[in-house]
A and B are shown apart, each in its own frame.
Chain A
């Protein structure tokens, strides 16, 4: 994938829950190595769209989601990470009973090969593999500055750190497309700036394409290269942060005034 190539192509995604139309014909592309922000008022359908990408929701007929030439809607949910897509969750979905280290190692699952018998014996392959992947995980722990909580059980960590562990867990999958669902909710200004720095670090180091949902406009305008705006399940704007800032439809969606 070269920078500028279409990495992810979302085409005509509609999603209906009974009578409620969550998404209506949403289409957009993300280029390789781009940070795309997905914004919109509450209930606009941002998370639903991510859930469609993950195969957690099944969009209505006529939709197509292409990632590196793979049709995601024909891939079972547990195969999605193997294609190179990882995500974090709005309300945290960590393995709370495991340590930070084990949370990240658990995410190495798709890159490990040891089977039932290897694991039962834990001699040779399974043991070697654990050490090799420990190195990878330690690099991520370094990058996200989590050394001090390496062996802390995640359930006992404060919210801000849990968000960081979850980002680390997604990174441990070595994704080429990272889906971040509100990585900065419930954080104070300092934690938000840390998180923004981590996202930019990740982007620079791994050249990951990032699709980001976030409500903090200042932050979105700072780190995103492109912004897609949803309102009531419809895409109302798509462009650079500067274009979005002056877009009348966006201002109306957020402020409710006719300009």
Chain B
């Protein structure tokens, strides 16, 4: 399917042809949407704001997987472990070294990137299923490390109490204020993820995903680019981990676990692999389902008293069923649906052209 442009719109330069936001009204819509998000605390209640906060953090972590799995085709089950790494580094920098949050955040993200790069080394030798098992190692080794290494620093299984972020004297200790932080990082991460996908780097990544043999014979250094993908993915995870840890005010080896890694992978599948919109749609849907599971749980117990205690199982249940339905009916995810709707809208009233 070729790219459909609204009728009567013609480009006269390559720069225009490549532009993303193409019309003044699109700019208006985009900026209006971002403004509406920033103003959310003014018109929404606290729990909604907290939910948007969680969604934002999930999107950032999922964008890492978009780069690694969606673009480069390397499946990873270690994304949550790299979130934990970022969270721990930031917590240590702020509590032990007294670093300001604005310094700790990028340093922690880069630190997680370096750790991710190390765990990406097996990708040079193994692919697919075997790589999944290799990245799974991160999910076991890193939490084990935080539980057992440097007890005086990492405080073992107890974990670390993380102070709320403080930037230029302003404390971000309410969901309403924390949202500004999450949204700002989210905007940057979205721009970065999109830039990666449309540039030389992204094309090298996709060429590895679609045909690694041809990519190498066409001059792409697989070694270099696979490691760059792992690095970038873990930087996203690290940044998300920092935000999550400072939001929860606490971090230990259980804060980010294997099921989080699986959920993140599920998010980009449901959202659409290889599309910049994938992590956004996917994270929103999965987080809303989680919320629904939390709300629905008590009702379930009232309706079926015998199911008492089983309401925690609703979250994985909803997730599993959703993922299965998507894999069967829309394996290309919500982003693909979105493209189809957009195309149908532009072709109206001749929707079958």
Write the residues of chain A forming the contact surface with B, with a CB cutoff of 8 angstroms.
54, 56, 77-82, 86-87, 89, 93-98, 102, 105-110, 112, 114, 116, 118-122, 126-127, 129-131, 134-135, 138, 149, 151-153, 156, 169, 173
Contact = CB atoms under 8 A, between A and B. Distances in A.
B21 to A, nearest CB: 14
Contact of A86 (B210, B218, B220): B218
B18 interface: yes
Contact of B196 (A98, A105, A120): A120
Given A96-B210, A120-B196, A152-B2, A173 B219 contact: yes
12 contacts: A80-B219, A93-B213, A95-B214, A107-B218, A109-B220, A110-B218, A114-B199, A114-B200, A122-B198, A122-B199, A151-B3, A152-B2
A93 B222 CA distance: 16
A129 B215 CA distance: 20
A102 B210 CA distance: 12
Contacts of B200: 108-109, 112, 114, 119, 126, 129-130
Q: Which 4 A-B pairs have the closest CB atoms?
A: A122-B195, A93-B214, A119-B201, A81-B219
Nearest to A118: B199
A129 B198 CA distance: 12
Interface residues of B, number: 34
Main secondary structure of the interface of A (DSSP, over half): helix
A79 B216 CA distance: 9
A98 B204 CA distance: 11
B209 A97 contact: yes
A182 B221 CA distance: 26
A166 to B, nearest CB: 9
A82 B218 CA distance: 9
B207 interface: yes
A95 B210 contact: yes
Contacts of B14: 131, 134-135, 138
A94 B210 contact: yes
A163 to B, nearest CB: 14
Contacts of A82: 219
Contacts of B217: 54, 56, 77-78, 80-81, 87, 93
Nearest to A126: B199
B202 interface: yes
Contacts of A114: 199-201
A138 B14 CA distance: 10
Contacts, number: 112
Interface string B168-202: 00000000000000000000000010011011111
Main secondary structure of the interface of B (DSSP, over half): helix
B2 A106 contact: no
B209 A109 contact: no
B219 A109 contact: yes
B282 interface: no
A109 B210 contact: no
A89 B217 CA distance: 11
Contact of A102 (B2, B203, B209, B228): B203
Contacts of B18: 130-131, 134
B274 A97 contact: yes
A106 B203 contact: yes
A109 B200 CA distance: 7
Given A78-B221, A119-B196, 17 more contacts: A80-B217, A94-B211, A106-B218, A116-B232, A119-B195, A119-B199, A119-B202, A122-B195, A122-B198, A122-B199, A130-B18, A130-B199, A131-B18, A134-B14, A135-B14, A152-B2, A153-B1
Contacts of A116: 201, 228, 232
A102 B209 CA distance: 14
A99 to B, nearest CB: 8
A152 B1 contact: yes
B236 to A, nearest CB: 11
B218 A81 contact: yes
Contacts of A119: 195-196, 199-202
A181 B10 CA distance: 39
A135 B17 CA distance: 12
Contacts of A54: 217
Contacts of B206: 95, 97-98, 102, 106
